[in-house]
Amino acid sequence: MPRAADPNPRLAAFFAVILVLTACVSARSLDPSLERRLGDLLLVGFHGTEVDGNAQVRHLVCDLRVGGVVLFERDAATQAPRNITSREQLGRLTGDLQALARGCAGRPLLIAVDSEGGAVMRLSPRVGYSPTLSAHELGTLGDLTVTELEALRIARMLREAGINWTLAPVVDVAVNPLNPVIVRRGRAFSLDPEVVTAHARAYLQALRDAGLRTTLKHFPGHGSSWEDSHRGFVDVTETASPEIELHPYRELINHGFVDSVMTAHVVNRNLDPDYPATLSRPTIHGLLRDALGFRGVVVSDDLMMRAITEEFGLEEAAVLALGAGVDILLISDARPGEDPGPADRAMAGIRNALARGMLSRSQIEAALARIDRFRAGVGGFRGSRPVDHSSR
């Protein structure tokens, strides 16, 4: 996550049809109280380093009332600065975002970043932060105290910056040593699932003690693939090792250490013959929720990645993901002036699906309830108590 793809031109006409259909059914056919909350289902990216004068940010936060934003250091295509240029600027940006959200939506904003350490760390030395150890380096050192201390150091950086949600740690097991997106980039702790679990638990302990929301990724496992889902279709049917790759999820969920889980855009035809995990009800609802007993928030990996955009329209993917059991849709890229932008298109698809009965009100309300519990107390000290999922 994430390297956004260009929109598929073949879908342009479909986007227009969806918007017309949505206009026809109109928001009048939806309960206004539910309509007002649909933005909480979105975690979106934007361009710009300031809130003041940024029409795109005001539209996302005030008009769409998105529940969260995800920040990036650089634009993936141009490598130009995107959201983060310095420590001082970042603190000002997050403070202004929160002030805008409270004024427009009356509740705090979830502000997320990828902060795995090593190569995938948005608060990098380029913008004034000290270097961080990768998961591979921590796993190789083999000292859980070092892992916890490094996670605590990262947590302090995030808290100081006004960030309340880290899209980490990665619990993919390094099943394939030549895996291009996880293993070769140093994002996996180990090829041993017990070692992955132990380091992830130490990492989570420190982050949660600091009051941050955390995310395990990428469910049900991306460490066995030969392909990168940023770049296109990924099939792990023949390479997945479920008993190995699900072990960290099973153990950490059972012990109450999981705030949220991010899905992978990988196809395993033994789980679902038709859809990648992000869009698969047997994978999300059946395996993660029913078999593993997870009752917390499920967030998609970026719906702008080519594994999704080359096969599905954004509207269709948004509806399929929510129907599968995903609660929060991550949409990384929204270009200034793009009309309609990807967040608008996703919202149009959701409204249309609700009006036509393709999504039920109860599904959306259940997702919103999980998001409300996830958001509760954001920014405050949570302590190290495990999460009790029994009432969820």
Catalytic sites, residue numbers: 230, 301
**Other beta carbons within 10 Å of 263:** 27
Question: How many angstroms separate the CA atoms of 269 and 274, rounded?
Answer: 7
CA 227 to chain centre: 20
Q: Which two tokens stand for residue 94?
A: 């997050």
Contact between 309 and 2 (Cβ < 8 Å): no
Question: How many angstroms separate the CA atoms of 68 and 61, rounded?
Answer: 8
Question: How many angstroms separate the CA atoms of 251 and 173, rounded?
Answer: 14
Q: Which two tokens stand for residue 2?
A: 């994430």
For 191, residues 6+ apart whose C-beta sits below 8 A from its C-beta are 173, 174, 175, 177
CA-to-CA separations, 7 to 111, 307, 388, in angstroms, rounded: 25, 12, 41
Q: Where are the beta strands (DSSP E) in 199-327?
A: 215-219, 260-263, 297-299
